[in-house]
């Protein structure tokens, strides 16, 4: 069972927005055993939309289309669906009532003709109710291929996927089971890993696929398999994964699951009734932002200070000035003092501190660009490490964030 995602909208093709919808849709389809065979992004252009629909029909069983359903003239997906399915538009009274309700309740003005026209749907379409917006989704079929049209606005699309599209696909198709398991490793390059596991990789059964995913100091190793029997599939992949992990025990840091590292940290802290604070210098809020993006952070996260200017490390956090003078602001003693002081200032059990040179300029530091010191204060003491994360600012910050959470998780999970 294969799917194609078609995103319609000039804004993706001129680079004005990054397409995040496709990753979401792919993840959700994978969970129910549908393989995404291709993602195609095209403009709001009639002949190109028609060609893309027609090509996709020859490649896959399910075509999920996003975008081009707005009330303005540049949005033409619905007209193209009519042409492709040789159909005409008709007003749907349920959608019409929904649009009027949204306008009277939230927008507080009379809908315009363009707004009301969003209630027009192809006669052959099964209308999918969009409770987050005015544009309905549409489910149509041609030559055994299912075509679904959804708005491109991410939260409207997500609502439709969960409430209408995924249940519809589950109901309509017999699907195999897809299982991925990903091992996280740190400290060895992909080719060195490949060399170490070569014999095992050669002997992998045909239905299990290995992928190397290198990124910012980590290599993730993903095993994937697909088949009708969920139990056998999981057993086979888990067996191979155990074997793989045993060969990489020195660099393995755990399995990747849908829970992010910060969610795992939150889970541990909540379970143990402990709290966290942050003292971020070179990461400049990136750690806090990762923590607070998840609901429920206030139950364990006390707060942060970002003492970007050096003297604030003393005035706000209470790091002794002589420490900074003696060791330099980017140093293990200063990172450790920042972490310990954060636990005091914020009355938290744990704290992360970062101090470093994100670059591209050295600033007033004596160290190389990319030098970062990370310290973790715990109820049992403080640990720290100095890193060299390269010269690209964005990567230095991201690697620091990854490493800091990895270090914290390790400390929390062993206490």
195-254 binders of a copy of itself (CB under 8 A):
195, 201, 209-214, 222, 224
Which 3 state secondary structure label does DSSP give 7?
Answer: strand
Binding mask 363-402 for a copy of itself (x = CB under 8 A): x----------------------------xxxx-x-----
Tokens standing for residue 337: 């003092």
* The two three-digit tokens of residue 198, written as one number: 């070569």
Is 68 a binding residue for a copy of itself by CB under 8 A? The answer is no
Residues whose CB is less than 8 angstroms from the CB of residue 275 and which lie 6 or more positions away in sequence, other chains included: 269, 300, 301, 302, 346, 347, 348, 349, 350
What string marks each residue from 152 to 171 as x (binds a copy of itself by CB under 8 A) or -?
A: -x-x----------------
Q: Which of 303, 327, 407, 410 binds a copy of itself (CB under 8 A)?
A: 303
Output the smallest distance, CB 124 to a copy of itself, in A.
26
* Contact status: 404 vs a copy of itself (CB under 8 A): no
8, 25, 95, 223: residue in contact with a copy of itself (rule CB under 8 A): 25
* Residues 73, 78, 81, 86, CA torsion sign: negative
DSSP state string for 133-162? SSSPEEEEEETTEEEEEE-SSHHHHHHHII
- Count of chain residues binding a copy of itself (CB under 8 A): 102
The CB-of-347 to a copy of itself minimum distance in angstroms stands at 8
Question: Could you write out the DSSP letters of every residue in 200-213?
Answer: HHHTS-TTEEEEEE
CB-based contact 350:342 (threshold 8 Å): no
Query: Is residue 409 part of the contact set for a copy of itself (CB under 8 A)?
Result: no
Among 111-119, 120-128, 247-255, 261-269, which window interacts with a copy of itself (CB under 8 A)? 111-119
User: Tell me, what DSSP letter sits at residue 330?
Assistant: S
Please answer whether residues 412 and 269 qualify as being in contact, where contact means their C-beta atoms are separated by less than 8 angstroms: yes
Instruction: Check residue 64 for interaction with a copy of itself (CB under 8 A).
Output: no
Within residues 328-347, the interface with a copy of itself by CB under 8 A covers: 345-346
Measured between alpha carbons, how far is 57 from 49 in angstroms, rounded to an integer? 12
Out of 1, 36, 157, 330, the only residue in the binding site for a copy of itself (CB under 8 A) is 36
d(CA 332, CA 338): 10
**Shortest CB 414 distance to a copy of itself, Å:** 26
Question: In the range 272-301, which residues lie near a copy of itself by CB under 8 A?
Answer: 278, 280, 283-289, 291-293, 295-298, 301
309 φ, ψ (degrees, to nearest 5) = -75, 135
């Amino acid at each position: 069972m294969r799917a194609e995602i078609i995103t319609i909208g000039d804004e993706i093709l001129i680079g004005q927005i990054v397409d995040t919808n496709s990753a979401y849709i792919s993840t959700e389809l994978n969970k129910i055993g549908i393989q995404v065979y291709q993602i195609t992004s095209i403009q709001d252009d009639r002949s190109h939309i028609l060609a893309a629909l027609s090509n996709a029909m020859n490649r896959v069983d399910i075509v999920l289309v996003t975008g081009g359903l707005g009330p303005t003239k540049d949005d033409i997906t619905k007209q193209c669906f009519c042409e492709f399915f040789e159909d005409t538009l008709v007003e749907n009274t349920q959608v019409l009532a929904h649009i009027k309700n949204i306008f009277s309740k939230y927008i507080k003005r009379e809908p315009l003709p363009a707004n009301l026209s969003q209630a027009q749907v192809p006669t052959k379409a099964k209308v999918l109710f969009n409770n987050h917006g005015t544009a309905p989704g549409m489910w149509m079929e041609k030559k055994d291929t299912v075509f679904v049209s959804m708005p491109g606005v991410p939260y409207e699309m997500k609502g439709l996927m969960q409430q209408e599209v995924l249940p519809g696909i589950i109901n309509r198709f017999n699907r195999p089971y897809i299982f991925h398991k990903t091992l996280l490793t740190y400290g060895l390059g992909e080719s060195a890993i490949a060399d170490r596991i070569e014999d095992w990789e050669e002997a992998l059964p045909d239905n299990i696929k290995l992928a190397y995913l290198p990124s910012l100091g980590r290599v993730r190793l993903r095993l994937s398999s697909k088949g009708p029997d969920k139990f056998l599939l999981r057993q086979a992949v888990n067996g191979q994964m155990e074997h793989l992990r045993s060969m990489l025990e020195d660099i393995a840091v755990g399995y990747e699951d849908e829970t992010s590292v910060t969610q795992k940290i939150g889970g541990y802290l909540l379970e143990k009734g402990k709290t966290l604070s942050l003292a971020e210098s070179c990461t400049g809020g990136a750690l806090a932002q990762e923590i607070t993006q998840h609901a429920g952070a206030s139950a364990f996260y006390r707060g942060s200070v970002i003492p970007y200017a050096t003297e604030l490390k003393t005035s706000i956090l209470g790091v002794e000035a002589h420490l900074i003078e003696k060791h330099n602001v980017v140093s293990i003693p200063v990172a450790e003092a920042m972490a310990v002081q954060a636990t005091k200032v914020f009355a938290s059990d744990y704290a992360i501190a970062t101090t470093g040179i994100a670059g591209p300029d050295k600033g007033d530091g004596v160290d190389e660009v990319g030098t970062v010191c990370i310290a973790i204060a715990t109820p049992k003491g403080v640990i720290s490490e100095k890193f060299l994360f390269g010269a690209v600012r964005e990567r230095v910050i991201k690697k620091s964030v990854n490493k800091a959470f990895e270090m914290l998780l390790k400390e929390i999970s062993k206490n």
